[in-house]
Amino acid sequence: MTPDHEVVIIGAGFGASGAGIALQRRGIHDFIFVDKWGQVGGTWHANTYPGVAVDIPTFIYSFSYEQRGDWSRVFAPGEELRDTPTIWWTNTACGRSCG
């Protein structure tokens, strides 16, 4: 039996996004993300209660090579973090099937 993809990345949050970007930078493009939520955002899709926000300075949620300077606050709300992997996926053509 031949696998459908060279690499399977479990999850679709920050870590998975970083793994996908790293693979692309190394010339590996045959990969897929598998996440129980079926969409990007990771834990921020599970934690959507009113007032949810980060508990560390938001700038830490940026890759060294993909810094964001447009955070709304030092401790940004969960919605803002949930959307960040989507921005990375769009900007890096990392948006693969996620299911």
98 is a domain residue: no
DSSP readout, 8-72? Answer: EEE--SHHHHHHHHHHHHTT---EEEE-TTSSS-THHHH---TT-B-SS-GGGGSBTTB-----S
Task: Please tell me the distance from the alpha carbon of residue 48 to that of residue 83, in angstroms, as a whole number.
Answer: 12
17 is a domain residue: yes
2 is a domain residue: no
- Specify the number of domains making up the chain: 1
Task: Please tell me the distance from the alpha carbon of residue 26 to that of residue 88, in angstroms, as a whole number.
Answer: 17
99 is a domain residue: no
pLDDT at 73: 92
Give percent of the chain above pLDDT 90. Answer: 14
68 is a domain residue: yes
Q: What is the mean pLDDT of the chain?
A: 80
22 is a domain residue: yes
Q: Which domain holds residue 63?
A: 7-92
pLDDT at 99: 44
Taking the complete model, does pTM exceed 0.75, yes or no? no
Residue 22: both structure tokens together: 């790293």
97 is a domain residue: no
47 is a domain residue: yes
